[in-house]
Amino acid sequence: MGQIGIKLDPRRKEPLHRQIFDQVVARIESQAFPAGYKLPPSRALSRELGAHRNTVARAYADLEAAGFVCAGVGRGTFVSAGPRAVSGQDAAAPVAEHPELPWAGLLSHAARGDVVGRAQRHLRASSRRDMVNLARMQPSADLIPDALLRRCLAHVLSQEGAHALGYAPQEGVLRVREQIALDLVHRGVPARADEVLLTSGSQQGLDLIARSLINPGDAVLTEPTTYSGAIDVFTLAGARLLSVPMDEHGPDPHALARLSRKDIKALYLMPNAHNPTGRTLSAARRRALIAWSRSAGVPIIEDDYAAGIVLDDGDSPPHLRALDGEVIHLSTFSKCLAPGLRLGYLVAPARLLPVFTSIKRMIDLGASLPMQHALAEFLERGYLRAHRRRITEEYRARRDALHGALTKLLPRGLRWSLPSHGVVLWLQLPAELDPQLVYEEALRRGVLVSPSSLSSAEASCEPALRLTFCAEPPERLIEGARRLALALRQLLARRSAEAEHVDRPVQEVV
């Protein structure tokens, strides 16, 4: 025990200089070290603690940088003057006890709705430490290029300093919008920097579209099964979701023609790597949908969340935005780079972009400026293209591992298709199996899946599961398939036994 009460524990994960920092701060905040208290010289404290002098010096430097202490050459290190103590006259009088405010009655209609809680009900955390997660829609930690991003951010801060830590332009930093436009053109989407709006992920893009186009009671067309986040955003905006009739190629243009009416504000689609089904629309169907959009006067929202994740060789169908400049195109860097960046973008028609930009300014005053500069640096150095190639190869290997395990382990009769884009696989279930019951049984077996009810825009839904293959390595995906197979066999055996019991003739008792 040193004279100032600091004790280091080399077994703890924190570095020793951080332990010194934390313990000194704790004593300052408890006023054990009052303002003006002189800390021991770094040489003396290092001898007391058995630590290197540089360790103590670094802790003292961090304390000074944070404003807890001040140091002077030849004088020593002193605790800085803290805020004025509150006198008895200044202290607030005790608050009289009152009943809790009537929060249940104060909530908005949207906040009371089912949309707020359904994701938490379905995707609640499990206490099992070895849970295989086939529901998480984000790259596993080993696929996030943290070292490259750290290098880019450090370069930005060293070059721009405090200028990189202010508010960003409401439309986004020009250099990153220029790089996004170049990447879009490289992937076949015509775009200029002045057509790009930076957003906090594609989810904010959806929110901006909803706030700009939808009045309560308006209709939005979606596929019967679609991205749950879009269902949530449109529902919170007060939209009525109308399901588009489907055929084996996707939304049926002839059925769409019969749905055309004045209160329909948009058709929301994911032509590539549809979430949750993994389907990719053919080029012919895309052109038919564009023709319908123009004739009906209904805009199309193209959600390209898996931008550039193409798992199979060959030409991909053209993006809807490439076929028609009136399409609202949105995407994100969450799946191809890192979700923690919280950066996405909209490419919008010229008449809409100022509206989106103004509403975005009112919501958040601009996306993170240092992250935008770091992303621009990442793109300018060519890191994204190399990284996209790397993760595409890995996702292909993971998809094939999951597909092979499902083929080998699942009961006969279950169907799924191999996705050519993106990171999800759609497992269709027998009609007699409730997806929610499959979810619960799989959870008990240690594998987390997404039931189709989570992605349904209708009261009823196709019995199916969405399985993701981005968040787990191949060996874990195989284990997840094994656990899921056990859950499905258990439920199918139970249903078979129940059916046999119902069908068994009643024997007459003599």
Give the tens place of pLDDT for each residue, 78-95. Answer: 998 755 444 444 445 555
φ, ψ at 425 (rounded to 5°): -130, 135
What's the rounded mean pLDDT across residues 361-384?
Answer: 94
Q: Which of 31-40, 66-75, 110-119, 464-473 has the lowest mean pLDDT?
A: 110-119
How many CB atoms sit inside 10 A of residue 321's CB? 24
- 145-383 CATH pick, 3.30.160.100, 2.60.120.200, 1.10.1200.10, 3.40.640.10: 3.40.640.10
Q: Tell me what pLDDT residue 26 has.
A: 86
Q: Where in the chain is the domain with CATH 1.10.10.10?
A: 16-79
In sign, the C-alpha dihedral spanning 215, 217, 219, 224 is positive
CATH topology assigned to domain 125-141+386-497: Aspartate Aminotransferase, domain 1 (3.90.1150)
29, 33, 39, 40 alpha-carbon torsion, rounded to 10°: -120
Q: Which pLDDT score, from 0 to 100, does residue 112 have? A: 61
Task: State the amino acid at position 199 in one-letter form.
Answer: T
Chain region(s) in the chain for CATH 3.90.1150.10: 125-141+386-497
Half-sphere exposure (Cβ direction) of 402: Cα atoms closer than 13 Å: 29
The 10s digit of each residue's pLDDT in 300-337 is: 999 999 999 999 988 889 999 999 999 999 999 999 99
Q: Is 505 left (phi over 0), alpha (psi -120 to 50) or beta?
A: beta
> From CA 368, how far away is CA 343, in angstroms rounded?
8
pLDDT in tens, 396-432: 999 999 999 999 999 988 999 999 999 999 999 998 8
Which 8-state DSSP code applies to residue 269?
A: E
Tokens of 303: 């959600």
Asked whether 315 and 281 are in contact (CB, 8 A), the reply is no
> pLDDT band for position 502 (50/70/90)?
low
Q: Read off the pTM.
A: 0.80
pLDDT, mean of residues 342-360: 95
Give 311-325 as a DSSP string: -SSSPPPPPHHHH-T
pLDDT at 262: 79
Low-confidence winner among 150-159, 260-269, 401-410, 418-427 (lowest mean pLDDT): 260-269
From residue 270, give the alpha-carbon distance in Å to each of 250, 284, 310, 320: 10, 15, 14, 10
- Tell me what the pLDDT averaged over the chain comes to: 88
Fold designation for 16-79: Arc Repressor Mutant, subunit A (1.10.10)
**Residue 342 — left, alpha, or beta (φ > 0 → left; ψ -120 to 50 → alpha)?**
left
Measured CA to CA, the distance from residue 144 to residue 422 in angstroms comes to 16
Quickly state the pLDDT bin for 99 (edges 50, 70, 90). Answer: confident
Nearest alpha-carbon partner for 328 in 455, 165, 189: 189
End-to-end, the C-alpha distance of the chain in Å comes to 89
What's the pLDDT score for residue 293? 95
Rounded distance, CA 27 to CA 35, Å?
A: 11
Contacts of 209 (CB under 8 A, 6+ apart): 266, 301, 328, 330, 346, 356
Distance between CA atoms of 286 and 279, rounded to whole angstroms? 13
| Domain ranges in the chain with CATH number 3.40.640.10 | 145-383
* pLDDT above 80 (res 127): no
Cα distance between residue 46 and residue 53, in whole Å: 5
For the purposes of burial, counting CB atoms within 10 Å of the CB of 375, is it exposed (0-12), middle (13-18) or buried (19 or more)? Answer: buried
Q: What token pair was written down for 178?
A: 């220029």
**Which residue shows structure tokens 């979701």?**
241
Which SS3 state, helix, strand or coil, does residue 428 take? strand
> Rounded to a whole number, what is the largest CA-CA distance in the chain?
109
- What's the half-sphere exposure (Cβ side, CA atoms, 13 Å) at 188? 11
Element containing residue 329 per DSSP (H, E): strand 328-332
Q: Specify the DSSP element, H or E, that contains 426.
A: strand 424-428
Residue 43 confidence class, pLDDT cut points 50, 70, 90: confident
Taking CA atoms, 205 is separated from 297, 326, 333, 348, 508, in Å, by 21, 16, 13, 10, 68
Q: Measured between alpha carbons, how far is 300 from 293 in angstroms, rounded to an integer? A: 7
Instruction: Reply yes or no on whether the pLDDT at 149 is more than 80.
Output: yes
pLDDT above 60: residue 215: yes
> Is residue 382 very low, low, confident or very high in pLDDT (cuts 50, 70, 90)?
very high
Q: What is the pLDDT of residue 84?
A: 44
Q: Six-digit token pair at 462? A: 């196709």
pLDDT for position 182: 97
Joined together, the tokens standing for residue 256 give: 């769409």
